[in-house]
Structure 1
Amino acid sequence: MTFSTQNSETSEFIRRVRINQQNLTDNLKNRYDFIVCGSGSSGSVVARRLAENPKVSVLLIEAGGSDDVPGVMEAGQWASNLGSERDWGFRARPNPHLNNRSLPMAMGKVLGGGSSINVMYWVRGHKNDWDFFAAEAGDEAWNYKSVLEIYRRIEDWQGTPDPKYRGTGGPVYVEPTRSTPLSLAVSEAARSVGIPAFENLNGRMMEDDGGWSQVELRQRDGRRLSIFRSYTFPHMDRTNLTVLTQAMVTRLVFAGKRVTGVDVAHDGKVHRIFAGLEVVLSLGAINTPKVLMQSGIGHEDELRRLGIPVVQHLPGVGKNFQDHVLLFGCVWEHEPGEAPPGGNSCLLWKSDPTLDTPDMQCVHLEGAYTSPETAKFNPPKNAWTFVPGVIRPKSRGQLHLTGPNPLDTMEIDANFLGDPDDLKAFLKSIELCREIAHSSALHSFVKREVIPGNLKGPDLENLVRNSILTYWHQSCTAKMGRDSMSVVDNQLRVYGIENLRIADGSIMPRVTTGNTMAPCVVIGERGAEMLKTRHQM
């Protein structure tokens, strides 16, 4: 494990971290008070908050390696992580609704998980998302009012002060992107079609019917700020926090229906490590249900079919899969030199005014942004892009084991556009982008529409089916709730199992409005609070 100097971190601190963690790894114990599996946007938070108490020992297990590489640290190099050793490389099965395309499903396999390979957007989720979580869980501690206090406490907001909604001095540095002549014109164009502008993305706008704002990012001076770096790394010189990398959790260990530890593949062998108090799964919406099922927690028929002894029948494990889909991208050509790069703003709006929450997210980028599927339009460099997407999908997918062994792959039936209303919403998202782009406020920035060009009707539908991708916001596969398909209760405890909680995006009853890193941090904070309360820490 290597670490380099970043921001205000001193070389002396980094030296202490390196020596301490090497010693802790060389002398790995067979028992810790808490074992946290996964160092992503939730697991890093849980590990940090537990390790703040010097009387408890915490083991944080990460299947990937060090984040100290340019692809992670340099914000502009984020795309280089896709398909690399820092990406789990999941792929969904061929989808008939996407003309049998099989979409890649990137997930971080590195310290920091998704927060080390994503595009660093900080989006809290809508008020109605959190109130829905509270209703599903039967617990007001999950509602928007409660969660807003967590966000204010953890943030270090760098934009215009907004004390009612934004916090300062917390571990989560957030800065707004700068406005440019083009992004201001997009704001005016959005207003001309009835979409209001807001002072920031994560304040009043997340209580409203939608709106426009500059994007907010977890980066500083061109350097990525992963959740791991903000939460866990500053505590890694402590002897009660062990961070074990290149270590894959293969199964849970039980005594009856009580989890006593985990089996971990590390350094060429499998280690059995026990937890004196609890185990927390924070492996993400694909690997968390995988470990549950391969440990005997899932639908009993599926487990028996694969020869896995049933520990607890929970049919909801691996079901309710949700994600956001997008098109990279709708592109307009402008006159050379009219739109300097750097702007980055976001629209949230409703495809149907009767909806209670925005279901469309259209991100504005300066420059031509395409996928392999849309690059065939050959957009010029002097262009700007809308990335339309659907963020309140009605489609639901599911995950299945292909075998009982840890290295057996997961079958991901994402079922994107499985519900026809999702395609309708997507087409409305594209039309919204067109309406804004063709407004008078953007007249000087539009020479022609490059993508989709003149496509309409069935041709436009076919473009969507042939070209949409995923935001990689996989979630909801071990949902929190009180019905027969729920996997965890309001305290994130797995039903029917003792000493096991889940804290990651898989517990969402529905995917939140916008990017999912920020909600996963809140899930980590809530999980840590529950553990501290339960164990009187």
Structure 2
Amino acid sequence: MKLYNYDDNVPANTSFPQNAVGDVFDFIVCGAGSSGSAVAARLAEDGNASVLLLEAGGDDKSETVSNPAQWPLNLGSSRDWSFVGQPAPGLDGRRLPLSMGKGLGGGSSINVMVWARGHKADWDYFAAEAGDDAWGYESILGYYRRIEDWQGDVDPSRRGTGGPVHVAQPLSPQPVAEALLSAASALGVPVFGSTNGEMMEVPGGASIAELRIRDGKRESVFHSYVRPLLSRRNLTVLTDALVTRLIFDGKRVKGVEALVDGRQRQFMAHCETVLSLGAINTPKVLMQSGIGPEKDLQSHGITVVQDLPGVGRNHQDHLAFGCTWAYRKPEAVGGSGCEANIYWKSDTRLNQPDILQCQLEFAVPSPSETGLQTPEYGWTMFNGLAQPKSRGRLRLSGPDINDPVLIEPNSLSEPEDMAAALAAVELCRELGNSDGFRPLVTGETAPGPRSRSGMIDFIRRSAVTYWHQSCTAKMGRDNMSVVDSELKVYGIDSLRIADSSIMPRITTGNTMAPCVVIGERAADLLRKSHGLSALREPFAQSV
């Protein structure tokens, strides 16, 4: 294990013996990803509360993390939980690899670094489901103004400066990115100067992407929020610490059990425990601790603490169908390889985008089931569903930490999703085969011209995931909801959830930015509940 905290004689990020970590803290935050890092930092910033941040993975010191172009090398590595879905009938029985970040920074340490705040309609839906306007778009804009250190054009009502999160567009986008915007404009898709300004309030558009890259290096959420506070005496960060279950006093959570370097440890929280383990591990820990669907838990011999049938249900993810073109000659790759994106509608009657397209400046191999060859040099539109209607679920395979979760994505099970997928691929092919790309490409290699049935076959066999798993412990007020508007788990005291699992439905676009908002919102609620000082703006970088 590694312990990251203050010591007069030992620099941060030095290995410590196991007994260096105490057992009791004011707050325990489980998971150092995009949400957990924000929660822990905001709680520790007050200075009057002791905070333990537990992370199952290791550190973030790797070229594959810091170098934006090397993000694909993290997939399937020790930095990836490497989940795999169960066979999905809608995908011709294929099993989707479902990557999820493992280590300091979580997904923000291995992702494509796209900053996308979610559409206005997403946040207003959150507010309606929660019965709380604090989750609505106008309130959430306040969080983004606090969070961001936006490097682009001034937009004081929507964008923030001086916050912990550096957000910038590439200074010199590659020709293929500029070609995409020109092609989009020619097809009637409006082009905006920023993804996260007015574009997220209208039915869609195209823009140069906004990325979490500074001076050519990745900035994870952990790096932005927690690392500046590591010298604080009241913040302890422990890696290689796998949370296995919650510890109860009746229906109050008083702490957690965790495997630390293979040794079982218990950590206690005076105030509250926060689960920020992601949309797979959060429901797993809940269920194996006795919180979840009663019959399912009893079938594995788990004592039921609270019957919550919605735990593990409502699983959502963004699917993508790669459309690829071969370059005439090798072209440079900028930043993370994603420098332009489009959010658009599969049906003109929609009032928000349901198509998500992120351009990748390299050729992504199609799944082997498509039988398609990938050009040595080319570009791929990671093109898919922003608002899928299909819903999956998670099931336990057993009561122990080593028993894997069975993930049933249920992808493309709803006919509306196939209709939207067909429209998305059609739009993508129109864009990529337009005149603006002809100086750059020799032609389309995937999917190519097909009949409707042939295109459906391509979609089922080519679909992959954006790795945006979410919604498995949703916020709301119906009998399938797991947390209330304050992120408290129904029927349980001193336990909150702050990660993508609380989303009532998946947000439009990449989910890192919404997860930071969820972490910020959780921290505000905790600070208010426990009498910690009001949050300062902008975020204090010094200690």
TM-score by length of 1: 0.94
1:182 Cα deviation from its structure 2 partner: 3.2
Structure 2 residue corresponding to 1:448, chosen from 443, 447, 454: 443
Q: Which amino acid aligns with 2:29?
A: V
Q: Which amino acid aligns with 1:98?
A: L
- Partner in structure 2 of residue 523 of structure 1: 518
1:499-510 aligned at under 5 Å gives the runs 499-510=494-505
Structure 2 residue corresponding to 1:182, chosen from 143, 154, 176: 176
Q: Is the 8 A contact 2:3 2:238 kept in 1?
A: no
1:372 Cα deviation from its structure 2 partner: 4.0
Q: Is the 8 A contact 2:85 2:406 kept in 1?
A: yes
1:71-150 aligned at under 5 Å gives the runs 71-150=64-143
1:133-212 aligned at under 5 Å gives the runs 133-177=126-170, 178-212=172-206
Residue 16 of structure 1 aligns to a residue whose secondary structure is: coil
- Partner in structure 2 of residue 43 of structure 1: 36
1:148 Cα deviation from its structure 2 partner: 0.7
Encode CA deviations 1:357-388: one digit per residue, 9 max, x unaligned.
20101122333222343885334345332221
- Partner in structure 1 of residue 305 of structure 2: 311
Residue 398 of structure 1 aligns to a residue whose secondary structure is: strand
1:166 Cα deviation from its structure 2 partner: 1.6
Provide the aligned length of Structure 1 versus Structure 2.
526
Encode CA deviations 1:368-427: one digit per residue, 9 max, x unaligned.
222343885334345332221111000000000111111110000000101121111111
1:15 Cα deviation from its structure 2 partner: 6.5
1:29 Cα deviation from its structure 2 partner: 1.3
1:109-508 aligned at under 5 Å gives the runs 109-177=102-170, 178-327=172-321, 329-336=322-329, 340-342=332-334, 344-373=339-368, 376-508=371-503
Residue 29 of structure 2 aligns to a residue whose secondary structure is: strand
Measured in 1, the distance between the counterparts of 2:519 and 2:495 equals 14
1:24-63 aligned at under 5 Å gives the runs 26-63=19-56
Residue 127 of structure 2 aligns to a residue whose secondary structure is: helix
Measured in 2, the distance between the counterparts of 1:444 and 1:83 equals 36
Residue 301 of structure 2 aligns to a residue whose secondary structure is: coil
- Partner in structure 2 of residue 8 of structure 1: none
Residue 314 of structure 2 aligns to a residue whose secondary structure is: coil
Q: Which amino acid aligns with 1:492?
A: L
1:334 Cα deviation from its structure 2 partner: 4.3
Measured in 1, the distance between the counterparts of 2:401 and 2:332 equals 49
1:340 Cα deviation from its structure 2 partner: 4.3
Q: Is the 8 A contact 1:159 1:176 kept in 2?
A: yes
1:335 Cα deviation from its structure 2 partner: 3.1
Q: Is the 8 A contact 1:76 1:222 kept in 2?
A: no
CA separation of 1:376/1:316 partners in 2, compared to 1, >3 Å: closer, same or farther?
same
CA separation of 1:375/1:230 partners in 2, compared to 1, >3 Å: closer, same or farther?
farther
Measured in 1, the distance between the counterparts of 2:9 and 2:352 equals 45
Q: Is the 8 A contact 1:281 1:501 kept in 2?
A: yes
Encode CA deviations 1:456-506: one digit per residue, 9 max, x unaligned.
321221111111101110000000000000000000000000000000000
Measured in 2, the distance between the counterparts of 1:380 and 1:402 equals 41
Q: Is the 8 A contact 2:433 2:444 kept in 1?
A: no
Residue 67 of structure 1 aligns to a residue whose secondary structure is: coil
Measured in 1, the distance between the counterparts of 2:176 and 2:392 equals 38
Q: Is the 8 A contact 2:3 2:237 kept in 1?
A: no
Q: Which amino acid aligns with 2:279?
A: A
Q: Is the 8 A contact 1:292 1:298 kept in 2?
A: yes
Q: Is the 8 A contact 2:74 2:80 kept in 1?
A: yes
Measured in 2, the distance between the counterparts of 1:253 and 1:307 equals 17
CA root-mean-square deviation: 2.1
CA separation of 1:361/1:374 partners in 2, compared to 1, >3 Å: closer, same or farther?
farther
Q: Is the 8 A contact 1:3 1:14 kept in 2?
A: no
Measured in 2, the distance between the counterparts of 1:274 and 1:386 equals 47
- Partner in structure 2 of residue 7 of structure 1: none
1:516 Cα deviation from its structure 2 partner: 0.3
Residue 403 of structure 1 aligns to a residue whose secondary structure is: coil
Measured in 2, the distance between the counterparts of 1:241 and 1:432 equals 49
Q: Is the 8 A contact 1:2 1:68 kept in 2?
A: no
Measured in 2, the distance between the counterparts of 1:173 and 1:347 equals 22
Encode CA deviations 1:215-235: one digit per residue, 9 max, x unaligned.
111112331111011101111
Structure 2: which 5+ runs fail to align? 533-543
Residue 186 of structure 1 aligns to a residue whose secondary structure is: helix
Measured in 1, the distance between the counterparts of 2:414 and 2:37 equals 35
Q: Is the 8 A contact 2:3 2:16 kept in 1?
A: no
Q: Is the 8 A contact 2:202 2:351 kept in 1?
A: no
Encode CA deviations 1:108-165: one digit per residue, 9 max, x unaligned.
1111111111111111000000000000001011011111111111111122333232
Q: Is the 8 A contact 1:71 1:78 kept in 2?
A: yes
Q: Which amino acid aligns with 2:145?
A: R
Q: Which amino acid aligns with 1:71?
A: T
Measured in 2, the distance between the counterparts of 1:36 and 1:514 equals 26
Measured in 2, the distance between the counterparts of 1:371 and 1:222 equals 29
TM-score by length of 2: 0.93
CA separation of 1:491/1:3 partners in 2, compared to 1, >3 Å: closer, same or farther?
closer
Encode CA deviations 1:85-121: one digit per residue, 9 max, x unaligned.
1111111001111111111111111111111111111
Measured in 1, the distance between the counterparts of 2:328 and 2:497 equals 51
Measured in 1, the distance between the counterparts of 2:440 and 2:362 equals 12
- Partner in structure 1 of residue 537 of structure 2: none
Residue 160 of structure 2 aligns to a residue whose secondary structure is: coil
Structure 1 residue ranges, 4+ long, deviating more than 4 angstroms after superposition: 1-4, 12-15
Measured in 2, the distance between the counterparts of 1:143 and 1:87 equals 32
Q: Is the 8 A contact 1:251 1:294 kept in 2?
A: yes
1:14 Cα deviation from its structure 2 partner: 12
Judge which range, 394-403 or 358-367, deviates more.
358-367
Measured in 2, the distance between the counterparts of 1:426 and 1:14 equals 58
Q: Which amino acid aligns with 2:348?
A: P
Measured in 2, the distance between the counterparts of 1:149 and 1:13 equals 38
Residue 200 of structure 2 aligns to a residue whose secondary structure is: helix
Measured in 2, the distance between the counterparts of 1:56 and 1:100 equals 50
